[in-house]
Amino acid sequence: DAGITQSPRHKVTETGTPVTLRCHQTENHRYMYWYRQDPGHGLRLIHYSYGVKDTDKGEVSDGYSVSRSKTEDFLLTLESATSSQTSVYFCATYRGGGLYEQYFGPGTRLTVT
């Protein structure tokens, strides 16, 4: 367990509003990831970070942006939320250096009405 917390754990928001989800880790892991999980699609990578200020896009990055100003924090922002972004969002971390074992946070359930 990489000591990962996510906030908020649940959020309901309206279409068109901005939303920021936060992931915080205490294990000094180099890599951090944002996934979304939807029925029938499994976990899909949105964005990831391989270091402070170093981020890149994943498979489903449209409509999302990220920032990482400190090793322990990785923020996911929905600039203008849409109903298609209703999902469960998971943060994950990986220490780096091989093995590639990812550990997941508890998740955030986001509903866009």
Binding interface with other proteins (CB under 8 A)? 30-31, 33, 35, 40-45, 48, 50, 56, 58, 90, 94, 96, 98-107
On whether the CB atoms of residues 10 and 89 are closer than 8 A, the answer is: no
Beta bridge partners of 36: 44, 89
CB of 15 to other proteins, least distance (A): 25
CB of 20 to other proteins, least distance (A): 20
Return the number of the residue (27 or 101) whose C-beta is nearest other proteins: 101
On whether the CB atoms of residues 29 and 56 are closer than 8 A, the answer is: no
Report the alpha-carbon distance of residue 23 to residue 84 in Å, rounded: 21
Strand duo 54-57 + 42-51: pairing: antiparallel
Return the number of the residue (57 or 67) whose C-beta is nearest other proteins: 57
CB of 43 to other proteins, least distance (A): 4
